[in-house]
Structure 1
Amino acid sequence: MALVPYDDTHLWGMQKLHKPSAVYLFANHTIQIKQNWQQLGVAAVVWDAAVVLCTYLETGEVDLRGRSVIELGAGTGLLGIVAALLGAHVTITDREAALAFLKANVQANLPTDIQPRAIVKELTWGQNLTSFSAGEYDFILGADIVYLEETFADLLQTLDHLCADHTVILLSCRLRYERDQNFLMMLKGFFSVREVCYDPGNDIHIFEAKRRKRKEDL
């Protein structure tokens, strides 16, 4: 979500993030994602959390066919691309500075007959939410978007706005720091949360969240 250029000297094993492209096979399609670390930092590389969530979606644990999906903090667009290939109608979002790069990846990797099902749209969490219909989405997806503590309140506000009672949120992340655990506690204040998958090889958790039932609905 935030276009934060990480300091290379503080990261290990990051060589793959500096490659100009990364290739994946999902939904019987070869997907070639362009990367541009130097220009956009974290928004322009594929993170393990996105790959793990794509793999989870491909298993069929959730059925995306014909469903309305929105991805938050899409970055390179891999997750939204895979969701579209799996049959979803996807709104793929990020901040304005990342949109041209994001749109190029989406257009390059979706067949022309599928492209109408994928819309790239600007979304800064907590801002101009009225341009997104409240409760319109069946699924909200986010991969490695929980890392800046100053964005947590805006992210929660955005999730709350986008959700209906039927909406399923799927967040894929590595729990690196205490602040990540703090976000989960904040999320549980708004939603019922459970872990649905853990990838030990990549140390990635996938959490499912749903709006808590109101007393009047019980």
Structure 2
Amino acid sequence: MALVPYDENLLLALSKLHQTSAEFNLANHGIRLIVLCMFLEMGKVDLKGKRSIELGAGTGLVGIIAALLGASLTITDREPALEFLASNVHENIPPSQQGAVRVSELTWGENLHLYPTDSYDLILGAEIFYLEETFPALLQTLKHLSSENTVVLLSCQIRYERDEHFLVELRRRFSVQEGHYESQRDIYRAVKNTTNTEL
């Protein structure tokens, strides 16, 4: 999931990861980015040429950042989000990189045969586990898409006890390394899958 090394005194830019999102002044506008985008932007993960997939992309921000940083990416979400997602990708990925990005429908746990097993170096997901009824399908999807060498980066905020249960189930299936955790705000900054263990 996302491994975020954090030391409040290390760098000013890194201290922005102390929050669930960070605000920047870009093009004379205040822009808020989620932590996983910040983590990728810092170059802590080599994205060049990595076969990657983003789950539950929503607007596609994380996938767009990953693609701009060199990943060969499939950006996924459920069917109702695809038109908006494809439009965002088209508007934000330069023509020279459009061929390295694909927008595709993926409902967790369904039609996984369309996504080859063991074919991804990197799986991305930002704030994707919040509905308890989706947890089994999400875990099944993560398992299907990953291999021993796949790195899974998830950025999440633990809001409820059910979210903690998801992390317990995740640990049963993957070797998990947690990043920064703020107990006062109940925020995990990251988790990293280093090896995929058998069920």
TM bin, normalised by shorter chain, reads 0.7 to 0.9
| Distance in structure 2 (CA, Å) of the matches to 1:141 and 1:24 | 25
| Distance in structure 2 (CA, Å) of the matches to 1:24 and 1:166 | 37
Q: Which amino acid aligns with 1:93?
A: T
| Distance in structure 2 (CA, Å) of the matches to 1:134 and 1:205 | 27
Q: Which amino acid aligns with 1:205?
A: R
**Corresponding residue for residue 61 of structure 1:** 44
- Alignment equivalent of 1:84, drawn from 44, 56, 67: 67
CA contact (8 A) 1:190 1:211 kept: no
CA contact (8 A) 1:170 1:209 kept: yes
**Corresponding residue for residue 170 of structure 2:** 187
RMSD of aligned C-alpha atoms?
2.5
Residue 117 (structure 1) aligned with residue 100 (structure 2): yes
Cα deviation for residue 24 of structure 1 reads: 7.9
Q: Which amino acid aligns with 2:86?
A: K
Cα deviation for residue 203 of structure 1 reads: 3.9
Length-normalised TM-score, structure 2: 0.79
Cα deviation for residue 60 of structure 1 reads: 1.3
1:158-182 deviation digits (Å, cap 9, x = unpaired):
0000001100001001111111100
Q: 1:24 to 1:183 in 2, by over 3 A?
A: farther
Q: How many residues align?
A: 173
**Corresponding residue for residue 11 of structure 2:** none
1:91-143 deviation digits (Å, cap 9, x = unpaired):
00000111001000010011100111110000000000000010100000000
Cα deviation for residue 198 of structure 1 reads: 5.0
Structure 2: gaps spanning 5 or more residues: 1-22
Cα deviation for residue 191 of structure 1 reads: 0.2
Cα deviation for residue 210 of structure 1 reads: 3.6
- Match of 2:62, SS state, is helix
**Corresponding residue for residue 77 of structure 2:** 94
Q: 1:118 to 1:64 in 2, by over 3 A?
A: same
| Distance in structure 2 (CA, Å) of the matches to 1:121 and 1:135 | 18
- Alignment equivalent of 1:128, drawn from 93, 100, 111: 111
| Distance in structure 2 (CA, Å) of the matches to 1:181 and 1:66 | 33
Cα deviation for residue 204 of structure 1 reads: 4.9
Q: Which amino acid aligns with 2:81?
A: A
Identity %: 52
Question: Relative contact order (C-alpha < 8 Å, sep 6+): which is higher?
Answer: 2
| Distance in structure 1 (CA, Å) of the matches to 2:150 and 2:44 | 15
**Corresponding residue for residue 120 of structure 2:** 137
Residue 209 (structure 1) aligned with residue 186 (structure 2): no
- Match of 1:63, SS state, is coil
Structure 1: gaps spanning 5 or more residues: 1-21, 33-45
